[in-house]
Structure 1
Amino acid sequence: MRFLSHFSMAVALATAGTLAISALPQEAHAQKKKKKSKEAEIKISKEIRPQVAAIQEAMGGETPATAKPLVESLLAQPLEADDKFIAGQLAIQLGSSLKDTALQEKGINASIDSGKTSAEQLPSFLFFSGNFAYSGGRYAEAQQRLQQAFDAGYRQNNIGALIAEAYFKENKNQEGLAALERALEAEKASGAKAPEDWYRRGAGIAMKNNVNGAAGNWTYKLVEAYPTGENWRAALSVYRDSANPKLSNQENLELMRLMRKADAMESERDYFEYADAADPRRLPGEVVSLLEEGLAKGDVPSSSSYVTETLAAARGSVAADKASLGASERDANKSANGKIALATADALLGYGDYAKAAALYQSAISKGGVDTARAQMGLGIAQVGQSNWDDAKQAFSSVTGSRKSIANFWSLWIDQKAAGTATPEPAPTAS
């Protein structure tokens, strides 16, 4: 994945070459007269006046390149603040004329180090100093300069993401992710929206480098900002594959159910993994509905032996499974604990009988003797099936432990559904 492909170093360098240069020697008199900026107070010392005059004469001649050694010689001297600023401005101006980025960098750094750069220009100068350092592979220097520019209010040229990249280049992934998060927050605070690539970059770095706990956080950020079906699939897949400890079969089923709701299933693997998690022997109705949907959408091949065998097994179990539900409900009501109620609720949920499923999940929770977080997840999903959004969010908010992140994803999807930004749900398939 390419990051910040729209960010062109060439453009940045060109911009550096055309920075407005105030208080150049030939403008000093006019600036002083106006008294509108700090640069108007800059005075050339008598010690360097002859050198400045020679540089100006060479720059104004037919071969301005002859001024370069004169400028470099001036920069190399131990100069007072005003003189260093003047030398830096001359280097920027000449570097721009000659398209000499190394000379521009020297001039920008000299201007910054002089302490005489105006408050208006300083953020830009700091950025281009950091940008030069980044281009030169001096990433620690780039981190410092770019952060200074960011703190001074500079927000152009994707600076926040560039700071993060400077850390990533040194494998300082936690620091880079923290910098990228600051960049996202700064964009949000300004009323803007960070590019989708920034979120994808954060998620990719977190997953690839096993940054503890960060992959789920960054995939959540991605789908929160850009809730497309593709991003929901990427977010949930990344979360599933990077979960530590690994998701249990039931937890994976809860995640895959959300992937289906978000219309984010598109590959054979998605359908087959979902079917395996549901298990045609345990939840035959849900497996039938799922695979028939995949066939109808063309996402799974009808020629697949897995599809043929799994569908046959599930279809063969549906009648007897449905016939047993009445007795299971009665047993659940009589039982002193919630185990039968939980299992029966799972079965009813698989058939889309959400109201009965919700009631049995609530019974299982109140009677106890079950994994409460699992029952709360089932309850939340059953409430989603009935479009009882507030009740669903309340159930998901009660989930703790390893399922908490999955519950948070479900709650996010509900919020997007309410806001009209969620991807459309797939059309239901009869089972």
Structure 2
Amino acid sequence: MRFLSHFSMAVALAAAGTLAISAVPQEAHAQKKKKKSKEAEIKISKEIRPRVAEIQQAMGSETPTTAKPLVETLLSENLAPDDKFVAGQLAIQLGTTLKDTGLQEKGINAALDSGKTSAEQQPSFLFFSGNFAYSGGRYAEAQQRLQQAFDAGYRQNNIGALIAEAYFKENKIQEGLNALDRALEAEKASGGKAPQDWYRRGAGMAMKNNVNGAAGKWTYKLVEAYPTGENWRAALSVYRDSANPKLSNQENLELMRLMRKADAMESERDYFEYADAADPRRLPGEVVSLLEEGLANGDVPSSSSYVRETLAAARGAVAADKASLGASERDANRSPNGKIALATADALLGYGDYTKAATLYQSAITKGGVDVARAQMGLGIAQVGQSNWDGAKQAFAGVTGSRKSIADFWTLWIDQQAAGSAAPQPAPTAS
């Protein structure tokens, strides 16, 4: 992640306003106080005034480097606030001329320490001071100065991300994620949107450092702000791989179904993992639909022995599986608990019969004796298959426990369909 270079900082500071120092007696200033506020006046002491004039003369000569030792000597002294501010401004101007970043930094810090920096320049000076500290590896100092600039309203030069990086450099991962989150919220509050890289950085740091629960939250933020198929795949993959505890086979299936809906299936690994989660013996219709789709769009190689064997097993099981559904529906209606209804609803969902599946999921929930969160997930997915967005969101809202994050991802995708951010994908069907 690139931030502002030292020289660019100096140019920006110079553009913000350079100091015009004059040796005009204080009586003349008094005559002009109707035009200038007292707050803006800088009163150079009589002892310092000749030295300032000498420095300015050297700066304007053909050899401005001769002014550097004079400025550094002045900065090293115990100066009154106004004199320190003037010395700082001279150092900034000379540092810009000489492209001397060390002198620029000394000047900025002297101006800040003087307490005479104007309210308009204070946020910029704080930022540049913090950025110099960051570049010098003084990360604690950088955190403090940059946060002060941020709190003062400074929003340029990726400051929010830079604060986070200052924490990451010290391996303070949670503090860095918190800083990055504040930066994202500040962008939203101003009507803007943070760069995509900020979201990816947060997700990557959370995952790399095993911050409990944070990877899922950050991938959610990423796909919420930038809902592309690529980001959906990244978000769901990162969530799956970092889930603690590890997702069960059924939970992974619920996640992979969303990946398919979000047009985020990109590799044969995605299809193979989905097929394994569905299991050709348990949900043969869904496996057939999935792998035939992968073959048709070129994501799955027809030469793969896995594809040939899995498709053959699934196709061979479809006829008998379909033939058993009528009896399963009758048994589900007669059963005092919801176990048969849940299993039958799963099978119907795999064949794309969403209306019957939704009815049986609701029956399973009502009768009880089942994992309610699992049934609620199935109900929500069946409602999605019917484009019943309100019904789906209501079902997902009732999901608790380890599946809640998966349900939240589904709800986000639904909201994006309503907002028109992506075209709804066709429902899977099986022959």
| TM band (smaller chain) | over 0.9
Q: Which residue of 2 aligns with 1:155?
A: 155
User: Do residues 292 (structure 1) and 292 (structure 2) align?
Assistant: yes
Letter in 2 for 1:107: G
Cα offset, 1:426, TM superposition: 5.3
Three-state SS of the structure 2 residue aligned to 1:25 is coil
Q: Which residue of 2 aligns with 1:274?
A: 274
Matches within 5 A, 1:171-186: 171-186=171-186
Give yes or no for contact 1:65–1:98 (8 Å, CA) kept in 2: yes
User: Do residues 394 (structure 1) and 394 (structure 2) align?
Assistant: yes
Matches within 5 A, 1:323-342: 323-342=323-342
Q: Which residue of 2 aligns with 1:165?
A: 165
User: Do residues 140 (structure 1) and 177 (structure 2) align?
Assistant: no
The 3 A distance-change label for structure 1 pair 420 and 20 is closer
In 2, Cα distance between the equivalents of 1:318 and 1:430?
9
Three-state SS of the structure 1 residue aligned to 2:319 is helix
Cα offset, 1:417, TM superposition: 0.5
In 1, Cα distance between the equivalents of 2:202 and 2:417?
25
**126-135 or 14-23, which deviates more:** 14-23
Letter in 2 for 1:417: Q
In 2, Cα distance between the equivalents of 1:24 and 1:138?
32
Q: Which residue of 1 aligns with 2:310?
A: 310
Across the aligned residues of Structure 1 and Structure 2, the Cα RMSD in angstroms comes to 1.7
Q: Which residue of 1 aligns with 2:215?
A: 215
User: Do residues 26 (structure 1) and 22 (structure 2) align?
Assistant: yes
In 1, Cα distance between the equivalents of 2:158 and 2:354?
47
User: Do residues 192 (structure 1) and 188 (structure 2) align?
Assistant: no
Three-state SS of the structure 1 residue aligned to 2:82 is helix
Cα offset, 1:19, TM superposition: 3.9
Give yes or no for contact 2:85–2:116 (8 Å, CA) kept in 1: yes
The 3 A distance-change label for structure 1 pair 191 and 281 is same
In 2, Cα distance between the equivalents of 1:37 and 1:392?
63
The 3 A distance-change label for structure 1 pair 23 and 308 is same
> How far does the alpha carbon of each residue in 1:171-207 deviate from its partner, in whole angstroms, 9 at most, with x for none?
1110000000000000000000111111111100110
Cα offset, 1:12, TM superposition: 3.5
Gaps of 5+ in 2: none
Three-state SS of the structure 2 residue aligned to 1:26 is coil
Cα offset, 1:62, TM superposition: 1.7
**414-423 or 25-34, which deviates more:** 25-34
Q: Which residue of 2 aligns with 1:62?
A: 62
The 3 A distance-change label for structure 1 pair 264 and 84 is same
The 3 A distance-change label for structure 1 pair 359 and 429 is closer
Three-state SS of the structure 1 residue aligned to 2:22 is helix
Cα offset, 1:50, TM superposition: 2.3
In 1, Cα distance between the equivalents of 2:423 and 2:79?
63
> How far does the alpha carbon of each residue in 1:91-132 deviate from its partner, in whole angstroms, 9 at most, with x for none?
111111111111111001000000000000100110111111
User: Do residues 125 (structure 1) and 107 (structure 2) align?
Assistant: no
In 2, Cα distance between the equivalents of 1:40 and 1:253?
67
In 1, Cα distance between the equivalents of 2:24 and 2:373?
73
Give yes or no for contact 1:38–1:118 (8 Å, CA) kept in 2: no
Identity rate, percent: 85
**166-175 or 418-427, which deviates more:** 418-427
Give yes or no for contact 1:263–1:423 (8 Å, CA) kept in 2: no
Three-state SS of the structure 1 residue aligned to 2:276 is helix
Cα offset, 1:428, TM superposition: 4.6
Give yes or no for contact 2:230–2:264 (8 Å, CA) kept in 1: yes
Q: Which residue of 2 aligns with 1:9?
A: 5
Letter in 2 for 1:66: T
Q: Which residue of 2 aligns with 1:93?
A: 93
Give yes or no for contact 1:377–1:407 (8 Å, CA) kept in 2: yes
The 3 A distance-change label for structure 1 pair 38 and 179 is farther
In 2, Cα distance between the equivalents of 1:20 and 1:223?
38
Give yes or no for contact 2:130–2:143 (8 Å, CA) kept in 1: yes
Letter in 2 for 1:62: E
Q: Which residue of 2 aligns with 1:368?
A: 368
Cα offset, 1:429, TM superposition: 5.3
Gaps of 5+ in 1: none
Cα offset, 1:56, TM superposition: 1.5
Cα offset, 1:386, TM superposition: 0.4
Three-state SS of the structure 1 residue aligned to 2:16 is coil
> How far does the alpha carbon of each residue in 1:243-269 deviate from its partner, in whole angstroms, 9 at most, with x for none?
000000000000000000000001011
Give yes or no for contact 1:133–1:141 (8 Å, CA) kept in 2: yes
In 2, Cα distance between the equivalents of 1:123 and 1:429?
59
In 2, Cα distance between the equivalents of 1:182 and 1:138?
22
Give yes or no for contact 1:21–1:93 (8 Å, CA) kept in 2: no
Letter in 2 for 1:132: F
Letter in 1 for 2:303: S
In 2, Cα distance between the equivalents of 1:8 and 1:126?
14
Cα offset, 1:423, TM superposition: 4.9
**157-166 or 241-250, which deviates more:** 157-166
> How far does the alpha carbon of each residue in 1:55-91 deviate from its partner, in whole angstroms, 9 at most, with x for none?
1121122211101000000000001111100110111
Letter in 2 for 1:202: G
In 1, Cα distance between the equivalents of 2:394 and 2:14?
57
Give yes or no for contact 2:352–2:427 (8 Å, CA) kept in 1: no
Q: Which residue of 2 aligns with 1:425?
A: 425
Give yes or no for contact 1:22–1:39 (8 Å, CA) kept in 2: no
